[in-house]
Structure 1
Amino acid sequence: MDILGIFGILLGVLTIILFIIKKFNIIIAAPIATIVVLLFNDVPILETVFGKENSYMTALAGFVASNFAIFLLGSILAKYMDKSGATISIANKVLSVVGTKNPYNALVALFIISAILTYGGINVFVIIFALIPMAKPIFKQLNISWKLVTIPVFGGTSTFTMTMLPGAPSLHNIVPSTALGTTLTAAPLIGIVPSIAAIVFLLVFMKFSLSKSLRNNETFNVDEKVESSDATSKRKLPSFIISLMPIIVLLAIILIFSSVSNIIIFALIVAILLSAILFRKQIAQQKEVLNQGAAESVSSTITTGSTIIW
């Protein structure tokens, strides 16, 4: 590869970053960035992007074919946990145990909730939409800087639970496992040790950031209206144990039968069926949950595939 080709790759990376900043969908941005790379590498563009063999489109189609079932089932399970109020029930229990009167305890509680839900296979966006309305009144009451909320939420959802812990049912663990032919629990020691290191670092960093914020007299200072949680409080939520059951069963199947081929699909199906039974009182129209989960899985599959393939 010559200098021009390397320049093309760098320009392609810059292109996709710029398009994302400008809020273009990755499905649009990825092919354009691919074309930019090809222009500087003396490769036939039409055949490489749109050809029937060894092209961008065939690779994307292959990714969808290999992973769509996992995206579909994962999206449906996330919908059951969201619509039933199970995520809120788990969050409420952790908040009550850890406590929210102390600012640091509040951050730790959010961190634990985020970690539990992510390790249980719940979509990060579902967790964020569930936690943010709960966190705002707490931060306002304690009068701590709202910008600190990103540390526990993203620390719990986007670090050790997503890729490090053995058996994590997140797509970031499933997709590489499928491609490499490894189990979801491969190299457990290598996963557990950095997970512990990440947890310690995040707890220390939260304490440091909170102390610095308090020394600088930073306050809640959010002009927007704090979302009301009346609708959630009026809804009858499933108990904490019932809410955890689908997550426990999902992880137990993965960890016990990790060597079985496509065990994640079987585990997700069992978790969905269990959710349908346990949350039948909270979800009157289960057809809507299935339809919404299916519809959202299509977009997430193609979006993820476009990101990986380009």
Structure 2
Amino acid sequence: MGTIGIVIAIALIVILAMKGYSIVFIAPVAAIVVIVTNGMDFFPSLIGTETSFMTGLSGFLISFFAVFLLGAILAQYIEKSGAAQSIAQKVLSITGTQKPFSVLVAILVISAILTFGGISLFVVLFVIIPLAKPLFKELNIAWNLVVIPIFIGIGTFTMTMMPGTPSIQNVVPMKYLGTTLMAAPLMGFVASLVAIIVGIVYMRYAMKKSIAAGDTFAPYEDAKEDSLALKEKTPSFFISILPILVLIIIIFAGSAMKVDNIVLIGLAAGIIVAAILFHPFIPSHKTALSLGANGSITPIFFTAATVAFGVVITMAPGFKLISDFILGIPGNPLISLTIASASLGAMTGSSSGGLGIAMEAFAQTYLDMGVNPDAMHRISAIASSVLTGLPHAGAILSLFALAGLNHKNSFKYAFIAMTVPIFFALIVALIMGILFY
């Protein structure tokens, strides 16, 4: 009955998330289902001060609030100053805007640069949509193709693979494994290269197929217009990219020297540089700081609520059957860890949430088995995202709402653009992990 209760709770999360309910509401409801069906002590398991839903929630907030806060503030500076727009326009000037494929490549590159610089994917979407739409219209490209380069840029190699990326998916395993953002660098670089190649091949294939089918921009003429106007005065490209470069250099150097909390140091330095350089372009520092601080609350609570649900699952007697099944998968332990991370990411519709649950449930067990922590870090991060391109995923819902698209005309592109490159990259990373780690 306990195991069935866990399955019911996970199904509840998927169904309610697809119906638009917030995970902050869904997670405690699902936790209650697990607690009741497993015969656990109700209040101690839900709001107890030792191991409970609330301690899982608060523990995640304590560990990662500073990362979310500083990342959101830096994102606000880069958005409000027009720096993101300046970077995007520079990339477009290099790739050109006369050929459809060049425009798609430019959007991919812009998305990747901004997310690797620690910028929230939501900020990236707000920057790219108003830049891309007139180009798609001018070249008469079907607007739904825009989801391919965006999701390859924000949802594949810069999210989980590239060593040094300050994404939350790359930060979470550090708490459980004692690793750094640069964990398994060779594996990460090779996986990134595979994801990029596969993604670009698919992007070209989808574009050619769309053009051959006679698809044009016309059906999307009435698509939702973006409310953000492009800024007239923006910092130069060099000034715009400098805070991101500072962040990346500090993370790479600090990780190599094993400096504690290097992601916080890098983000803080990036903010200071941005505040100084972007001063002439920022209407109000108070606004940037306040919006960044407020904007960090929702995403961290979304992820923390999912992790807290995972804590309840790991406490439940019924979880032992699931745990024994995963740990009993034959072959190298990295294979079973891959399956666990991928499954939990798919169930929650969140790679960071699924990864948090996987680490909470299995990290110490695998470490005790002698599995290399760097390999665990990189492979579990990649695996957590391989099946998150599902209909209830927050990134997909956000992009569709902002771009005026829907599941019927665009979901297949979103799903394939994320799933296929990550899948091939994961296979390569897993082979490297088994052979070399």
Give the TM-score category using the shorter length.
over 0.9
The alpha carbon displacement at 1:228 in A equals 7.3
Map of 1:69-218 to 2, 5 A cutoff?
Answer: 69-218=66-215
Q: State the distance in 2 between where 1:199 and 1:35 align.
A: 42
DSSP-derived class of the 1:157 partner: helix
Q: State the distance in 1 between where 2:175 and 2:75 align.
A: 21
1:134-159: CA deviations, max 9, x gaps?
11111111111111111100110011
Gaps of 5+ in 2: 310-437
Does the 8 Å CA contact 1:103/1:144 hold for their aligned counterparts?
A: yes
- Give the letter aligned to residue 139 of structure 1: F
Does the 8 Å CA contact 1:253/1:267 hold for their aligned counterparts?
A: yes
- Give the letter aligned to residue 15 of structure 1: L
- Give the letter aligned to residue 64 of structure 1: L
Change (3 A) 1:84 1:11: same
DSSP-derived class of the 1:53 partner: coil
- Give the letter aligned to residue 201 of structure 2: V
Does the 8 Å CA contact 1:137/1:226 hold for their aligned counterparts?
A: no
- Give the letter aligned to residue 13 of structure 1: I
Q: State the distance in 2 between where 1:227 and 1:137 align.
A: 11
Q: State the distance in 2 between where 1:273 and 1:145 align.
A: 41
- Give the letter aligned to residue 154 of structure 1: F
The alpha carbon displacement at 1:225 in A equals 5.6
Which piece of structure 1 moves more, 297-306 or 112-121? 297-306
DSSP-derived class of the 1:7 partner: helix
Does the 8 Å CA contact 1:103/1:142 hold for their aligned counterparts?
A: yes
Does the 8 Å CA contact 1:177/1:183 hold for their aligned counterparts?
A: yes
Change (3 A) 1:284 1:144: closer
1:300 match: 299
DSSP-derived class of the 2:296 partner: helix
Q: State the distance in 1 between where 2:122 and 2:226 align.
A: 17
Query: How many residue pairs get matched?
Result: 305
1:4-38: CA deviations, max 9, x gaps?
22222221111011111221111101111111222
Q: State the distance in 2 between where 1:225 and 1:17 align.
A: 27
The alpha carbon displacement at 1:257 in A equals 1.2
Q: State the distance in 2 between where 1:195 and 1:309 align.
A: 30
1:96-115: CA deviations, max 9, x gaps?
11012111111111001001
2:264 match: 265
2:35 match: 38
1:232 match: 230
Percent identical? 48
Q: State the distance in 2 between where 1:293 and 1:45 align.
A: 37
Which piece of structure 1 moves more, 198-207 or 40-49? 40-49
- Give the letter aligned to residue 303 of structure 1: F
DSSP-derived class of the 2:230 partner: helix
Does the 8 Å CA contact 2:55/2:308 hold for their aligned counterparts?
A: no
DSSP-derived class of the 1:232 partner: coil
Does the 8 Å CA contact 2:130/2:230 hold for their aligned counterparts?
A: no
1:10 match: 7
After TM superposition, the score normalised by the length of structure 1 is 0.95
1:74-127: CA deviations, max 9, x gaps?
110010011001110000000111012111111111001001111110000000
1:63 match: 60
2:323 match: none
- Please report the RMSD computed on the Cα atoms of aligned residues, expressed in angstroms: 1.3
